Structure 1
Amino acid sequence: MAIPTIVYPHRFRHTYACQLLDNGAPLDFIQGMLGHEKASTTQDLYEEKICLWYYM
């Protein structure tokens, strides 16, 4: 069975962050794990855009 989507290394990073968020990890923890300098970067990407896209 083939994988229906293209898998690339950054996808693992996004999946990890989305799963952390879904399981109640605070944004400042996710920010630190991803190495984002600004909390707004983490919030914009993972609360509002990427995680919603993953579950569509």
Structure 2
Amino acid sequence: MDMFAPEGHCLFQPERLRSEFNGWEVVSFIPNAFTAPENKRKVFATAIARKPNHAAA
């Protein structure tokens, strides 16, 4: 399957994924990219985050 135009087909803009976890403990954030067929580039990030505990004391 061919990739669509990258400017119109992405889940998040660069660094948007990290900003979605403001206030969370980001345990790991790993951006990555690789060369794909037809002189294209695939870019992605893996995020692992822990939601803060809001339990009343």
Per the shorter chain, which TM-score range?
A: under 0.3
The TM-score, its normalising length taken from structure 2, stands at 0.24
Query: Highest CA radius of gyration, 1 or 2?
Result: 2
* Structure with a larger share of its residues in helix: 1
The TM-score, its normalising length taken from structure 1, stands at 0.24
